[in-house]
Amino acid sequence: MSSSSYSNYTNSPCAACKFLRRKCSSDCVFAPYFPPEEPLKFANVHRIFGASNVSKILHEVAPHQREDAVNSLAYEAEARLKDPVYGCVGAISVLQREVLRLQRELEETNNDLMRYASCLGGETSAYGGRRG
Amino acid sequence: MSQIKTIHNPIGSLERFLDLLLISLIVYMTLKGGTSGACAACKYQRRRCAADCPLAPYFPAEQPKLFQNVHRLFGVRSIVKILENLDELQRPEAMKSIIFQSYVRDRNPVHGCLGITQQLQYMIWVAEEELKAVNSQLQLYRSGQNHPMMIHEIGEKQEDLDLGMGLPVNNNNQGNNTIPFFSPVSETQQQQPHMSYCSDQVNNHDYNPIPDSCKEVLNNHNTSLAWGQNQFPYNHHNYGFINQNEHCSETKNNNSVMAIQSQLVNLQMASNQQEEEVDDQNYDEIHQFLEIIDESQSFTETKEVYASSSGESLKEPIDEIGEKELRRAATCFSLTSVN
């Protein structure tokens, strides 16, 4: 088995080229981000977004951002497979509601604190007056 | 002469009738979706938009950008496949989420919805920390009321302590640090996938970024947060959102004393402002596609919060909120030790 034409990172083709059953060249755009140990990662991304779309996205972002881009795509692909209706957007709405809930709770608690603080302000001035 | 007149008049009326018929035919063809009435999807693909085009209901011709985003991320085949596997009732909701996801990816090509998820989780963490701090102060006050002599000491402390920076908040008014507000989904549809992909370079902090309340909320839907836990690059000691991701690294320098509430509002305002900068016309209608899912009866509130067209309605509350929050934060943090 010749390994010279395979990816420059490992001796085996990357998960993408394995999935697509093609030669993994040294300049394969997928190779750094889809290691052969994680075949499901590329499979999910390919199923939802398609290899060509992913390739275009990778070429559009800067090289140092590609890993983050791939990971976010993998996350979204897996989310979409688990929940075909809402995908990762379902989680966003859950979190947004949580933020709103905490916001409300914080406001109520701060109102309580303001009430105590105003009471304290009155008493403190009384004490300060006595001391002075 | 009169005979000639009578001959010409029927011909003239016939011509007029034919003209009218032609005009009405053109109008009919346009309304039916002829070549000039094709949906954005078919227009983009330069094909005839059939009467039963599956994408036509979701991509009106006036908003080509919506379809372009979706096409760039998912591709037509993928969307059609997704729609085919869903019920009729689920398809509009699925398309809304797909359009939203594509829109977010267009605004933030690197992180997409994951960036929003992480920002929200960070906001939750900040809010919980702030809540803990405020609750502990409340405890102090309450115990001070039970022990009147302590009130004097607390008052002295209040005068002596400087106002610190307080809890870090992510003032995401720059770049792509905006969170489009997606309306809540149906309770029955919430799932959080188990994620396992992470970047080793990112996973280099000890701090567990998932707030307890967030975990509880998401675990209620029988999911795990492996992805989020691994992907949360918080540096606890710096109270910043330190991330290799560019857009977040900008925000670690923007700590302020504004609380989570004004932050959220600022995010939405920034989102509105950014939308105006980019392309208003194409995104004006996106709010229509982000309507409440299933729980359609009671979410007009959230729609108003999100809609950029309702920017005016937000202005006054925002000003009040900003002042209130500053005052509140000043009181709140005067008693905390500066970390």
One-letter amino acid at A26 equals S
Quick one: pLDDT at residue B193?
44
A108 touches chain B (CB under 8 A): no
Residues in chain B, total: 339
- Stronger pLDDT, A66 or A11, i.e. the higher one: A66
Cα separation, B98 vs B103, in Å, equals 8
Banded model confidence at residue B54, pLDDT cuts 50, 70, 90: confident
Banded model confidence at residue A69, pLDDT cuts 50, 70, 90: very high
Reply yes or no on whether the pLDDT at B249 is more than 70.
no
User: Are the Cβ atoms of B72 and A103 closer than 8 angstroms?
Assistant: no
Quick one: pLDDT at residue B296?
41
How is A52-106 classified by DSSP, letter by letter? HHHHHHHHHS-GGGHHHHHHHHHHHHHHHHH-TTTTTHHHHHHHHHHHHHHHHHH
Q: Which residues of A touch B179 (CB under 8 A)?
A: 96
B positions 300-329 inside 8 Å of A (CB): 328
Burial B174-191 (b: 16+ CB within 10 A, else e): eebbbbbbbbbbbeebbb
Q: What would the pLDDT profile of A36-63 be if each residue is shown by its tens digit?
A: 999 999 999 999 999 999 999 999 999 9
Q: What number of C-beta contacts closer than 8 Å exist between A and B?
A: 226
Reply yes or no on whether the pLDDT at A104 is more than 60.
yes
* Half-sphere exposure of residue A14: CA atoms within 13 angstroms, side-chain side: 20
Q: What would the pLDDT profile of B285-300 be if each residue is shown by its tens digit?
A: 444 444 444 444 443 4
B146 touches chain A (CB under 8 A): no
Q: Among B121, B193, B261, select the one facing A82 at the smallest CB separation.
A: B193
- Stronger pLDDT, B272 or A34, i.e. the higher one: A34
- Name the residue of chain B whose CA is nearest to A70's CA: B110
User: Are the Cβ atoms of B218 and A94 closer than 8 angstroms?
Assistant: yes
- C-alpha distances in Å from residue A15, one per residue of A5, A28, A65, B141, B199: 15, 11, 20, 60, 17
Residue of B96, B105, B110, B200 to mutate when probing chain A, most A C-beta within 10 A: B110
Banded model confidence at residue B218, pLDDT cuts 50, 70, 90: very low
Contact B189, B182 (CB under 8 A): no
Reply yes or no on whether the pLDDT at B116 is more than 90.
yes
Contact B251, B314 (CB under 8 A): no
- Name the residue of chain B whose CA is nearest to A65's CA: B110
Quick one: pLDDT at residue A116?
80
Cα separation, B286 vs B272, in Å, equals 12
pTM attached to this predicted model? 0.58
Mean pLDDT of all residues in B227-254: 40
Banded model confidence at residue B178, pLDDT cuts 50, 70, 90: low
Reply yes or no on whether the pLDDT at B139 is more than 90.
no
Q: Which percentage of chain A shows pLDDT scores above 90?
A: 70
